Amino acid sequence: MFATWKIVTNPNERKILVVNGVLSEEYKKELHLKDYEAIFIESFFEQASQDYQAIFSIHPLLERSAGLKPIFVTDKLRSKLGIFATVIDGYANSPTSPSVTNKIEKIYQNIQEMGIVHQVGWVDTKEAVLIHSFRFMISRKKFKMTPLLSEGSTSGYIIPFMEVLERAGILDISLRRLFQLKLIELGYMRRTRFLNKVYLCPKCQHSHILFVEVCPNCKTSDIQSQSVIHHFRCANVSPEDTYMVDGMLKCPKCGKYLRHIGIDYDRPTDIYICNSCTHHFITPDMNAICARCKETFNTAQLVPYDIYEFELTVKGIHAFASNEAYLTLQKDIEVGISSYENFADSLRILASMNDANDDYLVLGRLWIIGENGAVLPIRSDHIILQYVYMRFKNFKVATDGKMIYIAQLVSIDEEKSQKAFVERQFTALQKEMITFRLEHASIRYEIFSVTKSDFNEQFIKELKNISPTY
Query: What are 190-201's pLDDT values in tens digits?
Result: 999 999 999 988
Which residues in the chain come in under a pLDDT of 50?
A: 468-470
332: left (phi over 0), alpha (psi -120 to 50) or beta: beta
Q: Which CATH number fits domain 336-463: 2.40.10.410, 3.20.20.70, 3.30.70.270, 3.40.50.300?
A: 3.30.70.270
pTM higher than 0.85: no
Q: How far apart are CA 443 and CA 430, in angstroms?
A: 6
How many Å apart are CA 260 and CA 268, to the nearest integer?
A: 15
* Helix or strand run (H / E) with residue 468: none
* Contacting residues for 427 by C-beta, under 8 A, at least 6 apart: none
* 3-class state of residue 22 by DSSP: strand
User: Quick one: how many helices (H) and strands (E) in the chain?
Assistant: 12, 25
Residue 284 burial (C-beta neighbours within 10 Å; 0-12, 13-18, 19+): middle
The pLDDT of residue 213 is 94
b/e map of 234-249 (b: 16 or more CB within 10 Å)? eebebbeebbeeeeeb
How many whole angstroms separate alpha carbon 362 and alpha carbon 425? 14
Which strands sit side by side in the sheet containing 91-92, from one edge to the other? 4-9, 15-20, 38-41, 71-74, 91-92
d(CA 430, CA 445): 9
What number of other Cβ atoms are within 10 A of residue 3's Cβ?
Answer: 19
Query: How many other CB atoms are found less than 10 A from the CB of residue 231?
Result: 21
C-alpha distances (whole Å) from 324 to each of 62, 116, 133, 319, 327 are: 21, 11, 15, 5, 5
Q: Are 230 and 223 in contact (CB under 8 A)?
A: no
CA-to-CA dists, residue 325 to 24, 110, 186, 214, 322, angstroms: 31, 19, 10, 50, 7
Give the model's pLDDT for residue 46. Answer: 64
Q: What is the pLDDT of residues 143-165, one digit of tens each?
A: 999 999 887 777 888 888 888 88
Task: Establish how many alpha carbons lie within 13 A of residue 438's alpha carbon, considering only the half-sphere containing its beta carbon.
Answer: 20
| pLDDT value at residue 457 | 82
Question: Which one, of 294, 2, 64, 52, lies nearest residue 163 by Cα?
Answer: 52
Instruction: Supply the pLDDT for residue 194.
Output: 95
Measured at the alpha carbon of residue 173, what is the angle toward residues 299 and 413, in degrees to the nearest 5? 85
Per-residue model confidence (pLDDT) at position 366: 92
User: Parallel, antiparallel, or unpaired: how do β-strands 91-92 and 71-74 relate?
Assistant: parallel
- What whole-number distance in Å separates Cα of residue 133 and Cα of residue 31? 21
Contacts 24+ apart (CB under 8 A), 123-126: 123/330, 124/64, 125/330, 126/170, 126/171, 126/175
Domain boundaries, the chain: 4-197, 216-283, 336-463
Stated length of the chain: 470
